[in-house]
Structure formats: C-alpha cells, structure tokens
A and B are shown apart, each in its own frame.
Chain A
Amino acid sequence: MDKDLVDFSLEYARKKGAEYAEARANTTKREELVVKNGTLDAYVSSVDSGFCVRVLLDGGIGFASSNRWSKEEAKAVVETAVKFAKAAKRRERISFADETGVEAQWHVEEKQKIDDIQSESKIDEVMTIEKELTAQKIKIPGRILSCQTALIDKYFVNSEGSRIRSYLPRIAAYALITVVENGKPEQAFKMFGHSSGWEAFQEWKMADVLLHEAKMLQRLIKEGKPVKPGKMDLVCGTEVTGIAAHESCGHPIEADRILGREMSQAGRSFIYQGGPFWVGTRIGNDMVTIVDDPTVKNSYGYYEYDDEGIKARPRYLYKNGRIDEFLHNRETAAKLDTRSNGSSRSINYNREAIVRMANTFLQPGGWSEEEIIEDVKQGVYMKSFTEWNIDDRRFNQRYVGREAYLVENGELKHPIAKPIIETTTKTWWSSVDAISKEVGYDAATCGKGDPMQGMPVYTGGPVIRLREVYVK
C-alpha cells in the first residue's frame, strides 16, 4: 500500500475544491479453499489492493476508485469524483454531521498468525473434518467445506485531519451438507467467523457441530412429524433469536433505509417520520433490549473505527421494548440532526461506505434454558432455522425450523418437521415472555448495498420463549 499516494489523493481533492474529502485504501490478502465431496476443488490465494476517494461538493457526493497505484490514476480518480459530485445538482444539499479529526491505529491480535500457517496445514485441518464427517454411518452424499481468510490492511484519511491505520485478520468457514435417509434428503448450512488468528479454527469444533447436524437431520427424516397448526408457545434457540434480531430490529433501524436511500433495493422501513413507529414507540415487551455492538472482542463484525473514521461503540436499537437508537453514518445523522454512531462500513476500497450492522443481539435475561422449557405445556422448540425471509419494510417475516422438537408438559419429545412461524415484527417481540441467561452468536454475511456488499456480522441472542403464537 502506498500511503503517500493516498495522502496525495486527499490533497489533490482539496486542491480541486472539495468541501469535504476522504481517501481510503485497502490491501487484503485472501485465501480460500473448498473441499467438495471429499476432494480439494480449488485453492485460491490473492492480494487485492486499491484506493478510493469520496468528495462532498455543491451538496452532491462523488466517489471513484482504482486498483492502479499511480499518481496519474490518483489524479483521474479525484477528478472523476469531483465531477460526479458537481453533476448531482441536488435540490436538498447533502451534508455530514460534525466531527473532529482523529489520529489512531488499531489492530486485532492473532494468537496463531494466519500468515504463519502453511497452506498444507490448512488443507489438512479441513480434510480432517471431512474424514470425521464421513466416518459415521450417516449417508451424506453432498458436502461442501470451505475455509476463507482475509488479512485486511486499511488506511483512512480525511480533510478534517483524521488519519487511521488498521489491521484486521478475519477467518471464516462454512459447510453445506445433504443427508439422505430412506431416499429423502435434508440439508443444513453452518457458518463460522471470527476476527482473530488461526486459533479460531480449532475453537469452532466444526466436526462436532457438523456431526450433530448430520445426526439431527437423519433423525428428523426418520422420526420427524408435522406440527398440528395452531396457537402455542414457541421456544427459539439462539440461532433463531439472532436472525430475528438482525432482520426485524437491525435492518429496520438503519437510518439510510428510514430516510429512503435504499428504497429501490433493500427497501424502506416500517419506521419513518410521521408514521406509527418512531423513537420511543413500543415494539416489544419490556424485557426486549437489542444491541448492535462492533466492539465485541474477536467477533466477526468487529471494528474500532468505522469507514468514516468514527469511533465504534454499542448502539441500543430496541431498549426495554421501545425503539431507541438508529444506526447512522454522517450523512443520515446530519439529516436527523444528530451525530454518527459509527455504523458506516464498506467491504472494500471500491465500494462506498454505507450504514451497516456489526454484531446484533438480544440482551440476556434471567432464565435458564431448562426453566423456559419446563414452563411450556404445549409448544415447539425451534433450535435452528432453514428457510427465512422478511418483507422490505422489515415487518412481515417467516422462519422455518431446521432442528425442532415438540414440547409437551415441559419435556422435549420427537422432532418436528419444518415448523413455520410467519408473523410480524411487533407480534414477535411483543410475545417474548422469557429470555435465557446465555447469549450465543452466529457468523453471517449480511447483504445490502448496490453493488452488493456482503458484510461480516454476528447475529445473536439467548434462548427465548414466545407465548401463544401461531405455528404451522
């Protein structure tokens, strides 16, 4: 990475008249290996390095980027960004919420440096999981195991004096399995992700997790029964709580959606000015508090400063059952007369930073998982999910159980095949009447932005109980 060229780009943008300018460079060393049905399909290793310039001028924003590191290219990038900003000709001028410049350096420690792990060792570790998975008497004819690492070196400067350097190692893995029993297929997808060194790979115990999934799917095919549709208690495992927190709290609370900037892609929000839901409006029971926190150590969505140079901090999205704080970048914060809370993220140098979640989770309560189940007369325990979706206002959603069991008089019974809850955000969070003490996290890739920016995040939460909801 040529820091001098990044600094030059910023100065050149100032010289060209930018009212505000920033330059950001990313150099990312990536590796990915994919094992398909027991064979190493491909191993890809690359370094991607480039820079971008974003300017605010005459109330418009221009953005340009390149992976060609030369002064001529930097000048062309700046000139394009300036020209684009001028061409916007907006009626309402865009402005950014006030900030003062900050100088900082941050990095995430690697107990086992990813760069120090030989490629053959990475292959062997994934192959060991494959061997353990196939050593059992379970027919798993479809298997994908993938491991990805990214070492991200970033440099950010802006015309307000910010200068931030960071190093973030990320490691992720995912698995897709298809189990067949009596000619019937069932499938599971599991993802793992950390901001850390290679040590995460051992911590995940992927073989154990995947063997549990395989055995569970086999049993589901053999013993699973449909649920008798009707109102009942639904106990949700941490994976289900987490996806609901992400989809029906994290997304609708993104201020760019609320203000309409995502209207033609990911959509708007049920929260809007002059509508029935705004800051302070009740959305769930008192016990519902959902936080988005980029500072969870070693989390997949970890960062210390966002891509506008704002210090990261926890955001209380729903607090004690009420809408509390939106996720902001500097543009949305200015529009709503507040300050950015450090939610501006970009996946690479060639993408604008937009409002994103980091690690979104429901805060724990005072129950044990056993107590939650003991108190259910008739219901379903949906431990994990398969199909899910939500409308583009983030109100009408559906989750279909992957691992699920009938609960009768406080006891888990046979597996339930594909129980479905299809409900609204308000009903979901208003039906919560018990929350466990332990929070579980799952790594996920959140989709948003045009072009799409798949963003590393955690979804999370404790085990929860929804009282008297319709399950089919």
Chain B
Amino acid sequence: MSEIREKTKAIVAKGKALGADEVVAQTSFGRYRQIRFSNNQIDISTAWNTYITDVHLGWKKRFVGTEIQDFQNTDKVMKNLVKLAKVSKENPTYGGLAAGNFAYKKPSADTKIRDFENPTEHVVEALEAARREVGDDVNVGGTLFARYEDVHLVSSEGPTGTDARSSIELSVRAFSQRDASGHGVECSSSLKDFNPAKAGEKAGRIAKLAQNPKQGKEGRYSIIFDPLIFGSLLGTWGSMASAYYVMIKFSVFTDKLGEKVASDNVTLRDKPASYSVANRAFDDEGVPLQENVIIKHGTLNTLLHNTSTAKVFKTKTTGNAGLVSPRTWNIEMDPGDFTQSELFSQVKRGLYLTNTWYTRFQNYATGDFSTLPRDGIFLVENGEVTQSLKDLRLSDNALRLLKQIAGISKERQHVRWWGFESVTPALAPYVLAEDIQMTKPT
C-alpha cells in the first residue's frame, strides 16, 4: 500500500513541478461484486475492479481535472493537464484547496467484504425470508452489492490520508400478486451488522399486506412515511443543502439560512457515521469528515461546503468536497418521541406509504414536485391498516412537506436503494406529515 501512496505523491509532485499552484490526487483501488436476481433466481453475478487516480489541479485560479488509470502514462497525462489549465479560463470563485495536516479516524472497513467471492447465500436467505411471509407463490427480485475500496489521498496543500471503505447493500422486492408488492433493504458497512433475512421478511410482509389493492382516491391525507420512502426524500433535501445548488438556485434553501424551513421537531444532519454505507475518513480535498447539522429544530442551520463555496459564502469548509460541488455523505433525521405504533395511532384516516420512485420537480427553487409511491400503499383508519390501495401520486411541495411533519418515530433504519434520486443514504425514521396532496390518473 505504501507503494500506491508513493505513486500518488509522485503525481502531485509532478503537477507542482510543472507549475501548478495546488494539486490533489486520490487513488482508489475498488473491488465491486454484485448479484442481480429476479423471478426467484439469480440472473447474473458481476465483478468489476477499478484502478483509478483522480487528479485535480489549480493554476492561477484555473481548475482542471483528469483520471489516471493504473498509473499508466502518468507524466504525459500530467503534462496535458497543466497545458489544459493554462488555456482554461480564470474562475474567480475558485478558492483553492484545503490546507493543513489533518489527523483522520482509523479506517474500520470490513475485510470480509473485500474477500467476498460469491455471496449467493445472502440472496438465498433473503428469498427464503420473503417466501416464509408470502408462501410458495412469491416472486422475488433484487440486488446484492458489495464494495471495498482502498483509497490514498495526497494534496500539495498538506492533507495526506489513507482510507479503506466497505459496504454491503441488499435490495429485495417481493410480489405476492401482480399488483401487490413490498420492498425491503439492508444496508451496512460491515457484515456483522448485516441481516439479509430482515430485508426479505419486510418485502414479503408488505407484499402480503398489499394484496387486492383498490384504486386510491385523490385528496389531502395524513401520511405515515416508512423509513424507505422518507430516506429517499431526505437525500433530496440533503442535496439541496449543497452550496453549489443554492448558488445556481436549484434549491428550496436559497437565501433561507437562519430561517424556519421545517417543523420544530425536525433536525437533519449530514453525518458520515461508521455504520453508513457511505463511511469514509476524508472528503475529496482531504478534510476530515464532520457532522453538520443542516436543519436544527426546524431552522436552516448550515449549507454544505467545500473550500471554494465556503469562501463565496464567507465561511469555512464543512468537509463536504466534491471538488466542484459539495456533496452529502449520509443524512440522518433525529428520532422523535413516538414508537412506530404510537405514530400510527395518531392517524384517524390517512395513508401509509412504504416506498417511492421517480421524484421530479417542476421548480427546484419553489420545491413543487411529485413522486410515485410504489409497493404497499395503505389506507390507515384509527391507527390500523384497513385497505391496500394503488395508483396514487404524492403531488405537493418539498418545503411545505418539511413544515407539515407532525410526528417522528424513535425507530430508525439505514436505507438506500436503486430508486433513490440522490445517491446519499439515510438514517430515516417513520414520519407522520399532515394534509399532504395525493393525486391519481384520470
């Protein structure tokens, strides 16, 4: 591994020798394994290995980047990159790279994930759990994805770090009838906390409950969001906290720092915790990751920054580089006071939504959007699920939805799956929001 670090250092040194003002290089050796399954059988097992060094450099406020594969043609690539910088245009908002010598948390990646050769037994476990819920007629599909990355970062401005990142994610969808399905996920940074049967069981349980759905009715509802659907929305709000999106007005949080943007009970954090599938030690400038409270008791507390956006906003980096655009790592919503069953008991007549996809905005500045709930959609009466429904669309406003949150559960789940619009995972509770618009096709 020290050889990789030395080669990465040499790339940075080369950039400096060629006249760059600052250079950062990040070498990742990634090992990825995936099993895709459908109709209760494995469709394909896939492996891909990547050996990549991402290099970015600044020269007189010009900022350029490239990739070097497996340390091939390094000198030529660096010469071309510096040449590109010299014909590029000055970016007055470029604020350089973070400077300093930082200490990082010790990597806690699970080497058992690295050594995975063919984890089909986890798929079988999930399939069987779904079958136990639904019976032999169940039709199950999904994806198991394992990732292990060794990362070495070297910056001419001081930061030098080594990281190892691991994650395992299982996404399971079960059908009990053609139009009755449920979805469960299991996401973890290590195998010891990974329980594939839990995802299969949830998918099967919801699929069974979703049988014989009736056409839902348009109207305004109290809605209980499952952690899976709310986690998807958390990622969307998290992305909008990136200073980059605020600068281009593609955020509901533009000009709202210090203002009320959500109910008092809402606190959202970007927290790159060790349990998360997005665990890592430093950002793309080499700044140690930190916890940032985006919304504190309903008030917009901070945007997410890299060094450049921080200078524009006259603040400090929050450790969220993205060299061009600040990124979120892992959005957590603070737990509330209700148990899951207490939250359901708050609802006289409402809906329980378990999953969604295809979230699209009319206008990112105002937040008008719609999203399509899928898998179980349930009518809730006096705290109980009384009917499975179908063909409803949540059509409301992202800022208004934050303000309509009336209850949050104590229980939370770490979630991410293919249908998230943002790649950011979340730690999401069950959430009750009042008076939310649902529409249907005519």
Contact (Cβ within 8 A) B324 A267? no
Contact (Cβ within 8 A) A88 B42? yes
Q: What is the CA–CA distance of A389 and B372 in the complex, to the nearest angstrom?
A: 7
Contact with B along A139-153 (1 / 0, CB 8 A): 001111000000000
Interface presence of A91 (CB below 8 A): yes
Q: Chain B residues near A39 (CB, 8 Å)?
A: 89-93
Q: Chain B residues near A451 (CB, 8 Å)?
A: 34
Contact (Cβ within 8 A) A392 B374? yes
Contact (Cβ within 8 A) A397 B120? no
User: Looking at chain B's contact residues, is the secondary structure mostly helix, strand, loop, or mixed?
Assistant: strand
Contact with B along A151-194 (1 / 0, CB 8 A): 00000000000000000000000001010100001110000000
Contact (Cβ within 8 A) A89 B47? no
Contact (Cβ within 8 A) A387 B418? no
* Residue among B65, B141, B358 having the largest count of chain A Cβ atoms under 10 Å: B358
Interface presence of B440 (CB below 8 A): yes
Q: A62-B45, A178-B365 are in contact. Are A264 and B250 (CB under 8 A)?
A: no
Q: A40-B88, A90-B41, A90-B42 are in contact. Are A387 and B374 (CB under 8 A)?
A: no
Q: What is the CA–CA distance of A349 and B294 in the complex, to the nearest angstrom?
A: 39
Q: What is the CA–CA distance of A61 and B118 in the complex, to the nearest angstrom?
A: 13
Q: Chain A residues near B296 (CB, 8 Å)?
A: none
Contact (Cβ within 8 A) B442 A264? no
Q: Chain A residues near B364 (CB, 8 Å)?
A: 187
Q: A39-B93, A41-B91, A187-B363 are in contact. Are A450 and B66 (CB under 8 A)?
A: no
Interface residues of B in 363-389 (CB under 8 A from A): 363-366, 368-372, 374
Instruction: Flag the segment in B171-179, B404-412, B427-435 that touches A.
Output: B171-179
Q: A350-B48, A387-B361 are in contact. Are A48 and B393 (CB under 8 A)?
A: no
Q: What is the CA–CA distance of A84 and B439 in the complex, to the nearest angstrom?
A: 45
Q: Chain A residues near B361 (CB, 8 Å)?
A: 386-387
Instruction: Flag the segment in B79-87, B101-109, B264-272 that touches A.
Output: B79-87
Contact with B along A69-111 (1 / 0, CB 8 A): 1000100010011011101111110100000000000000000
Contact (Cβ within 8 A) B92 A260? no
Contact (Cβ within 8 A) B178 A272? yes
Interface presence of A207 (CB below 8 A): no
**How many residues from A make CB contacts under 8 Å with B?**
87
Q: Considering the complex, give the chain B residue whose CB is closest to the CB of A62.
A: B45
Q: How far is the CB of B168 from chain A (nearest CB, A)?
A: 15
Q: What is the CA–CA distance of A49 and B62 in the complex, to the nearest angstrom?
A: 27
Interface residues of A in 240-273 (CB under 8 A from B): 259-265, 267, 272
Interface presence of A47 (CB below 8 A): yes
Top 4 closest pairs, chain A to chain B, by CB? A142-B249, A84-B45, A264-B173, A389-B358
The chain A residues found within 8 Å of chain B, CB to CB, are: 34, 36-37, 39-50, 52, 60-69, 73, 77, 80-81, 83-85, 87-92, 94, 118-120, 123, 127, 141-144, 176, 178, 180, 185-187, 259-265, 267, 272, 275, 350, 352, 386-392, 396-398, 400, 418, 422-424, 427, 450-452, 470
Known: A42-B91, A398-B395. 16 other contacts (CB 8 A): A36-B93, A39-B89, A43-B88, A49-B69, A77-B47, A80-B47, A127-B89, A263-B38, A264-B173, A272-B178, A387-B360, A400-B362, A422-B442, A424-B441, A427-B442, A452-B418
The chain B residues found within 8 Å of chain A, CB to CB, are: 34, 36, 38-39, 41-52, 56, 62-67, 69-70, 72, 80-81, 84, 87-93, 117-118, 120, 139, 141-143, 171-173, 175, 178, 183, 244, 247-250, 323-324, 357-366, 368-372, 374, 391, 393, 395, 418-419, 439-442
16 A-B contacts (beta carbon < 8 Å): A37-B248, A42-B323, A44-B66, A64-B47, A65-B47, A67-B50, A68-B69, A69-B70, A88-B45, A91-B41, A185-B366, A264-B418, A390-B372, A391-B374, A400-B362, A422-B393
